[in-house]
Chain A
Amino acid sequence: MTGKLCAALVLIALVGCGGGGGSSPIDPPPGDGGGNSGGPVTPTGPSTADYLRAAQILDLTTFGPTVGDIETVAKEGVGWWLDEQFARPVTLHEPIVRRYGAQYGYELQNPVIFPGLYRRFAFFENALTAPDQLRQLTAYAFTQIFVVSATGMLNNNPIGLASYYDTLLTHSFGNFRDLLRAVTLHPAMGFYLSHVNNAKSDPVANTFPDENYAREVMQLFTIGLYELNQDGTPVLDTEGKPIATYDNDDIQAFAKVFTGLTYDVNAGSPVFGRNQGAMNLPMVMIDSFHEGGEKPLLNGYVVPDGQSGMQDIESALDNLFQHPNVGPFIGRQLIQRLVTSNPSPEYVARVAAVFADNGSGVRGDLEAVLRAILTDSEASDASRVREPFRRHLALNRSLGTVPVAGSDYGITGFFVQNLTGQMVLTAPSVFNFYSPFYRPPGGQGLQSPEMQITTEDSVVGLINLFARALYGDAPMHTHPELSAVALDLTPLAAYMDDRDTFMVWVERLFFGGQMREQTRDVLNDTLDEVIDLPTEDQVKVALYVALASPDQAVAEGGEL
């Protein structure tokens, strides 16, 4: 794509490029602090170790730290930051979509702007500017577990996808059981996994309940294929083989449970079988289309005859929620999304224990689970290939891009999807962009889900996306109706007076606080070679090299 960016780009000063607004993308932190777990603050300010801890935790809990974030957390401490984030109210997506809808309409034929993009605008606006960063990021992690993808009608329905995202946001710090119900009943999921308008068996027509949701809610959303120990390792039978958690009879029983749901409507009464309805209201049960009778589910539990359809669903979700697999199965995946690709069994077990009991006898408390994941002693030893899509987001958030209302959709559009291989809620299937179990060739047996979408093509695409962001002389596909977005390099340029200070900030912003010595040497030597360039161009050169480095591509902790 950016092959046209000639060699000279790296060195030539591009007048008028790279400037832009200077306002901070996040709210200033509350002045009263709220905690002092960061330890005593000396009159000279936070220590180097404080900055390192701040850079580390912000790397794990935001879409990309800013200088302001790092200064604040270095001063106030990690504990303060987590408390502040868990206390933040949710910033929703649907209102942003409605703002665009009011401005540009929802017309699909010859629209001013394709309405399917509104929910991408909403995602980017919140990822880059919302103060509840950890919640936004957790919901994003859940989009890769409870996968719904913009296919077919959903791509044209920004309200439905934004509402689904908001459902994940709303329950991200709540209880897993509530999240599971909300996901199950959301019409976007009902459409995606086809359990909306799923009718009971019809012996005359020779039709049977749809098995799609029944299968995936078990395989992907709760328990997985095999019985697990609490540390995430498989339980083995006497022959050393894993033990299946369910069989096809179980699938067919669960399929009966998920019959009778249809779209709710904003006016009038819902009608089973209608292919449209409210995409932002939970599906409703029409009992006459729900399959009655007993349904034997997992671990000996039988849904009794005579319940309402919704009671059947509650019973089935309880049956899944209480399965001992959920803690290690979901916990391990959250660890992989947020922290590290190969958590030790002990790490998984510690998180699963918190899932089982938050300390007050509550199962499924996600805030407690997230705290356990983020504050575990292994969290600072992370080793994880950074998601291409998140690297793109991080560059835009860390360098003070200002996408407010009516912003450039170039950083949200097909161009980015093409070069990163990812886009929020746009996975190729319910199996996400990658498998949690993917082991790359040459990886000495290590798992690395993100390496599954890392190819000769994608690594070049991503580097070229960085080149475009730093050197592109035109914004990416800016629509005439929208305003351009550009990186603001002035804060970094201000540090260039002192090379060490500049390097430290590059390290804090893009390397989780820890850069390999080899990488640092290369950056320093490269800067020596371009010392005659204007400061902002030196910054660009340094950033381009830094962002192209495998060291930046892979978050690494303790092995330094």
Chain B
Amino acid sequence: MIKRRQLLQRGLKSAVSLSVLGSLPLGLMSSLRAQATDDYRATVCVLLAGGADSFNLLVPRSNQAYSQYQQRRSDLALAQSDLLPLDGEHNGAAFGVHPALSNIQRLFNNGSGTFVSNIGPLVEPTTRAALEAESVTLPLGLFSHSDQILSWQTATPANRAGTGFGGRLIDALAAANTGVPLAGNISLSGNNAFQAGAAVGSYSLNATAGVRTIAGYDNRIFQGALDRLLADSNAPTLQRVYADKIQSAIDVGGLFSNALEQAVSFSTPFNEDPFSLAMKRIAELISVRDLLGVARQTFFVTYGGWDHHEDTLGQQAAMLPALDAGLGQFMAALNEIGMGSQVTTYTISDFGRTLTSNGKGSDHGWGGNVMVLGESVNGGRLYGDFPELVEDNPLDLGRGRFLPTTASDALFADIARWMGVTDTDMATVLPNWPGLADSPQGQGVAGLLKNV
């Protein structure tokens, strides 16, 4: 659409507007530049909001397993011949990915990508029997979007403590960062539960517009007036919270705006859809990590619209190419700057969906399949236990809603260790992990990440 495109171009142009440079804390900038951080590590959380039907992203390809899949999924089944083959056999079966996921296929087959299958939030080790006996604490609001999306992001599925996995991760690693604290958690998709920390929140950057600066703030009179308004320390709480957002936009915005000016111009072409643009911004920010004074960082980006209660096949075919392209381009751009092994990217989603069809699409489930990508990934093999897709599988809680065989905490714990979280801090970062670690549901991802 032409007008969208024009908007986009205007937005990009405004990203390089430098009217705020005059207010940059230049002393801070030069001191940061000296702090090149060779041991930099970052993790990128891609939230597929809405509950992606991930049993159509990773699909068994061997004849018997495929026919079970086809039987359970009926009109939602992908054609066996359309699946893009993954190398090797896993748990005795061959697998393939959705035909739109050619980059994911390539990354898996070259060893830098994988899936963790039937993974989902758990509070404690949970068997079918314990679940039915109601003798186990379950995640709040199972099968509800708003709850399970929080369970994944917070990694505290039994309560809403107000902090998320990414936020607590950077809280624990804060000593590694020398720049402004907010630079530790950067969101391309606004406020989110994932990056809420006890100490620090996230900085929100607009993927298309870049860093916006306040019109007229470089005017002495307007700046003076706004500064005084923001300094009204006796203002009521919500006004204070709002004022702090503006203040943070002024203080941190200049730093980011200047850093992005110096970002690497990648030869890897990125698409112009919002997801690819967000991934491009992340790659750009990683290229100027030393300017931001960060050695440990999380990035958060949402790609929404996966609640496919109808037209699953059509909507996935329409939406997956952008996901696949954005992830593939991001990985290529990281390799271009030699950062492929220092960034680990993974997808999460509200939940997996029912295997069975409602005649048009699928409904809300629990366990699903997530992707993990990066040069630090021991790829080329699957993690977790891919469930047998048959009706009498005891993991099937009805209509093909799977009790997870791997806790999301298991993946998060691996990522946390890779980021440098000590065993001592692990219980703070992942409060339920100590209770899950030694159970079968804590085991599924052992060895997934190299360079831990």
Contacts and interface: CB of A to CB of B under 8 A. Distances in A.
A556 B50 CA distance: 35
Contacts of B1: 114
Contact of B190 (A193, A443, A455, A548): A455
Interface string A218-231: 01000001000000
Contacts of B229: 518-519, 522, 545, 548-551
Given A251-B143, A383-B236, A446-B238, A455 B309 contact: no
A104 interface: no
B239 A554 contact: yes
B283 interface: no
B310 A457 contact: no
Interface in B25-66: 49-50
Nearest to B236: A559
A198 B310 CA distance: 10
Contacts of A453: 190-191
B222 to A, nearest CB: 5
A212 B17 contact: no
Contacts of B225: 522-523, 525-526, 545
Interface string B187-205: 1001100001000010111
A197 interface: yes
A418 interface: yes
Contacts of B359: 198-199, 202, 205, 207-208, 210
B245 A455 contact: yes
Contact of A461 (B71, B187, B212, B236): B212
* Most-contacted residue by chain A among B187, B222, B304 (CB, 10 A): B222
Contacts of A471: 215-216
Contact of A456 (B17, B237, B248, B398): B248
Interface stretch (B3-11, B85-93, B263-271): B3-11
B17 A3 contact: yes
Interface in B175-195: 187, 190-191
Nearest to B212: A460
A418 B10 CA distance: 12
Interface string B333-371: 000000000000000000000101111110110000000
Contact of A451 (B211, B238, B363): B238
B242 A385 contact: yes
B390 to A, nearest CB: 12
B237 A443 contact: yes
Interface in B205-219: 205-206, 208-209, 211-216, 218-219
Interface residues of B, number: 86
A444 B357 CA distance: 45
A455 B239 CA distance: 14
Contacts, number: 263
A457 B190 contact: yes
Contacts of A519: 229, 232
Contact of B222 (A251, A477, A545): A545
Contacts of A414: 3-4, 7
Contacts of B11: 1, 418
Interface residues of A, number: 93
Contacts of B360: 194, 197-198, 210
Interface in A431-479: 431, 435, 439-444, 446, 448, 451-461, 463-464, 467-468, 471, 477
Interface of B: 1, 3-4, 7, 10-11, 14, 17, 19, 49-50, 71-72, 74-75, 141-147, 162, 187, 190-191, 196, 201, 203-206, 208-209, 211-216, 218-219, 221-222, 224-226, 228-230, 232, 234-246, 248-249, 252-253, 304-305, 307, 309-310, 354, 356-361, 363-364, 397-399, 401
Please name the 3 residue pairs, one residue from A and one from B, whose CB atoms are nearest each other, closest first. A3-B17, A455-B204, A210-B358
14 contacts: A1-B10, A11-B219, A11-B221, A199-B359, A210-B358, A210-B359, A225-B141, A440-B191, A457-B190, A458-B190, A467-B216, A518-B234, A550-B232, A550-B246
Interface of A: 1-11, 114, 151, 193-194, 197-199, 202, 205-212, 215, 219, 225, 248, 251-252, 255, 341, 383-385, 413-415, 418, 421, 428-431, 435, 439-444, 446, 448, 451-461, 463-464, 467-468, 471, 477, 516, 518-519, 522-523, 525-526, 529-530, 541, 544-545, 548-551, 553-554, 556, 559
